[in-house]
Amino acid sequence: MNEVTMLKVLYFASLRERLGRSSEELALPAEVADIAGLRDFLVARGGPWENLATLRNLRFAVNQEMARLDSPLRAGDEVAFFPPVTGG
């Protein structure tokens, strides 16, 4: 299977500020099959993208449902990255 997967990726809160964008449409190679693979793909961009590898307690959602690093991705999914949030 050599098809390219198209995803919408959303970035929230301080992560959005660091990356300078709130969302993007991405074409991923077939070997990116889960959130961990997507995160590694984005981290490979370097610079501020490396924050995705170093942020502790980074959370993820796929199609508005909380997900884990091993959650599979499919064409057309919407993936969100949430940094740790403090509040009170």
CA-to-CA separations, 70 to 19, 47, 86, in angstroms, rounded: 24, 25, 25
pTM of the model as a whole: 0.89
Three-state helix/strand/coil letters over 2-27: CCCEEEEEEECHHHHHHHCCCEEEEE
**What domains can you pick out in the chain, each with its CATH number?**
5-82 (3.10.20.30)
Interval 35-73: pLDDT, tens: 999 999 999 999 999 989 988 889 999 999 999 999 999
